[in-house]
Amino acid sequence: MGNSGVALADNANATFWNPAGLAFQQNTEIGLTHANWLPQFNADLFYEYLVGTYHQPGIGTFGGHVTFLNLGESERRDGPGDNGFQGVFRSYDFAGGISYGVKLSERFAFGTGVRAIYSNLSPSTDEVSSGTGFSAAFDLAALYRTAPFALGGADGTLSFGANLANMGPTITYTDADEPLPTNLRFGTAFTVDFDEYNSLTLTGDMNKTLVNVNSSTRVENGDTTTVINPDPFYKAIFTSWGSQAGVINPDNQAASLGLLQQFTMGAGLEYWYNDLFALRTGYFYENPQNGDRQFLTFGAGLRYNIIGVDISYLYAEENSPLANTLRFSLLISFR
């Protein structure tokens, strides 16, 4: 649905989109998502996401999740040609954590989550210290859903959600401190139940990365080095709202991004028939000076008894590394 869902968050995957959405769920669910990552590179990159939820009456709903991103195999070299080949190594990112959602009133919910993050990009060598890093992060989220209201001959429901995700200390590779991609996601969802069989939901999300990096120069023994100094996450939440550097333009100059250009936007549409079969589509947009990801999404879902299966397809320009991305999800719901 165009990477939108912060105000929908209606199954176990709410641990990613908006943990406050867990508060409105009373089922025990287990979900698994698989996607080949950047398939145009044909580099054995893939993404796995395992999630589970459990509702405790009177307390709230708990969730646990594990994320694994395989970054493929790389060669280790200390020079050109066969003599420079020093073997191969594999890189990956791993995260695991817990989430919690609770209703503060009949219509308003609060959610939070914590996770540990381990990144293994490269092993150590005699010249370079280990390219692995460890960090931790937490989320704060909220979700409000109106009571159903009359809409002609149908019933409507409006939801508003926000998730301030991935707040935590920097992660260190070799000698560099890299900020975690703290992200603010907010949006809305509007659902129309035409009758007991047919419903339609429209979603819209906006995202902004809350990272602010300053640079300075250091001179040692006549050599000038650029030092990157990221603001701590609790400071970057406020300092990242100014202009930011964008991609390098043809004149080899970094573009300056205004505030609106720093946001990504997603919109989606979901149709359900009898809570058994779903059709979905969406559109995602990112400013050309800020990464230029633009794509359409199409998907479908089936529910039978306790089993749910979903599939999505990402359509982008032929030369985009995101083109032809497929994502598969399995959901098991215990009433």
Q: Where are the domains of the chain?
A: 14-77+89-206+261-334
3-state helix, strand, coil in the chain (%, to 5): 10, 60, 30
- Per-residue model confidence (pLDDT) at position 322: 87
- Per-residue model confidence (pLDDT) at position 325: 92
What is the number of residues in the chain? 335
- Per-residue model confidence (pLDDT) at position 86: 74
Return the number of other C-beta atoms located less than 10 Å from residue 22's C-beta: 30
Write out pLDDT tens, residues 240-265. 998 877 765 555 566 778 888 999 99
Low-confidence residues of the chain: pLDDT under 50: none
What is the fold, at CATH topology level, of the domain defined by 14-77+89-206+261-334? Porin (2.40.160)
Q: How far is 8 from 157, CA to CA, in rounded Å?
A: 11
The 3-state DSSP class for residue 22 equals helix
Q: How far is 16 from 209, CA to CA, in rounded Å?
A: 16
- Per-residue model confidence (pLDDT) at position 118: 94
Taking only Cα atoms into account, the Rg of the chain, rounded to an integer number of angstroms, comes to 22
Contact between 185 and 206 under an 8 Å Cβ cutoff? The reply is yes
Q: How far is 69 from 210, CA to CA, in rounded Å?
A: 22
Write out pLDDT tens, residues 132-171. 889 999 999 999 999 999 998 899 999 999 999 999 999 8
Q: How far is 133 from 171, CA to CA, in rounded Å?
A: 6
**The one-letter amino acid at 58:** G
Residue 195 has what DSSP assignment? S
CA distances 251 to 103, 254, 287, Å, are 53, 9, 19
Q: How far is 95 from 65, CA to CA, in rounded Å?
A: 8
**Closest alpha carbon to 193 in 155, 165, 230:** 155
Return the number of other C-beta atoms located less than 10 Å from residue 132's C-beta: 17
- Per-residue model confidence (pLDDT) at position 148: 94
- Per-residue model confidence (pLDDT) at position 161: 98
- Per-residue model confidence (pLDDT) at position 39: 86
Tokens of 269: 């549409």
